[in-house]
Amino acid sequence: MYENFYRLREKPFSLLPDPSFLYPSPKHRMALVLLEYSLMNQAGFSVITGEIGTGKTTLIRQLLNQIDRDVTVGLISNTHRSFGELLQWILMAFNLEYAGKDKVGLYQTFIDFLIKEYARNRRTVLIIDEAQNMAPETLEELRMLSNVNADKNQVLQVFLIGQAGLRDLLRRPDLEQFAQRISVDYHLEPLNEQETHDYIRHRLTVAGGDPGLFDEAACQAVFRNCRGVPRLINLLCDTSLVFGYAEQVKRITADLVEDVAREKRKGGLFPQPVQQDTDDSTEGGPSTADAPTGADSNK
């Protein structure tokens, strides 16, 4: 709708996870480096957490884009409390036959697959997104499944990606053995104010537009209303461009952004703005205090 008016090749603030638009903030760079480190060093379990909309799925898409050809990847993109049989989902993720098999049959099918891949000098990686929804007994089953790893070679690597609740889950006493197998963990924080400004400019540039389309005050207004959460930034900026196009304005101002935010808050689905004196200097990163109990985090 507004792309031609603002001379954009494409929409800069789509809500779909697109690694081509990934903004390399220090937090996101660190998370990606740790994912790459885990992959290269054959870490058994790796955990990346973050609040809703902080860009976890986009990071995973970026990792998948640059993964070596000798790695076989299975992706479980969503979980829920009625998740059902873990092994069925795992076999489905690797395009293996699972229908009509009992638990022993499912297990044997997966073990045979892992051994076959290992014999071909291929590594097997399982990525589970939205892992905070997994039940403790499902996580324990996943730990037991990883016992196939032996000696110096990791036949199976597992990446768990989820919201902050995943860290709380992994702190449970009954999951201590699981936590002790986590080689790398990182919590992805929202962007601070300067990063929010840079994020907006970055996405506009990637879309072929003017990086100054949102003026300085408009970027500040976006940060106040979105609290540095990339998904909310995309939502507010995209709608601001729609409003700007409707009003035929060449630059997006703070007043326009605030008008859009107020409209969105009327439905009760948009957060209240942060206070002006909010400390936005908090950086994400591996933290000993935040690590799951017993985790051997690489920091």
* Contact status, residue 150 vs residue 185, Cβ threshold 8 Å: no
For residue range 94-142, what is the model confidence (pLDDT) as tens digits? 999 998 889 899 999 999 999 999 999 898 999 999 999 898 998 998 9
CA–CA dist 266, 196 (Å, integer): 24
Buried b (16+ CB within 10 A) or exposed e, 97-107: ebeebeeeebb
pLDDT score recorded for residue 83: 59
Tokens coding 186 = 């990182």
Are 163 and 76 in a shared domain? yes
CA–CA dist 67, 39 (Å, integer): 9
* Contact status, residue 155 vs residue 149, Cβ threshold 8 Å: yes
Q: How many domains does the chain have?
A: 2
Domain that holds residue 119: 26-188
Query: Between 292 and 130, where is the model more confident?
Result: 130
- CATH number, residue 203: 1.10.8
pLDDT score recorded for residue 288: 33
- CATH number, residue 57: 3.40.50.300
Tokens coding 10 = 């494409």
Mean pLDDT of 220-241: 96
Are 234 and 255 in a shared domain? yes
DSSP for 9-23, written as a single string: SS-TT-SS--GGG--
Are 53 and 172 in a shared domain? yes
Are 36 and 148 in a shared domain? yes
Are 199 and 233 in a shared domain? yes
pLDDT score recorded for residue 275: 64
In a domain, 202, yes or no: yes
Helix or strand or coil: residue 77?
A: coil
Band of residue 152 on the pLDDT scale cut at 50, 70, 90: low
CA–CA dist 63, 58 (Å, integer): 9
For residue range 161-218, what is the model confidence (pLDDT) as tens digits? 999 999 999 999 999 999 999 999 999 999 999 999 999 999 999 999 999 999 999 9
CA–CA dist 208, 178 (Å, integer): 46
* pTM of the model as a whole: 0.84
Confidence check: pLDDT of 248 > 60: yes
Tell me the average pLDDT of the chain.
87
Are 171 and 128 in a shared domain? yes
* Contact status, residue 122 vs residue 70, Cβ threshold 8 Å: yes
* Contact status, residue 191 vs residue 237, Cβ threshold 8 Å: no
In a domain, 180, yes or no: yes
In a domain, 16, yes or no: no
Confidence check: pLDDT of 147 > 90: no
CA nearest to 136, candidates 96, 187, 79, 186: 79
Are 183 and 130 in a shared domain? yes
Are 199 and 167 in a shared domain? no
Confidence check: pLDDT of 221 > 70: yes
Are 260 and 246 in a shared domain? yes
In a domain, 166, yes or no: yes
Are 208 and 163 in a shared domain? no
pLDDT score recorded for residue 156: 92
pLDDT score recorded for residue 94: 96
pLDDT score recorded for residue 42: 83
pLDDT score recorded for residue 261: 95
pLDDT score recorded for residue 43: 86
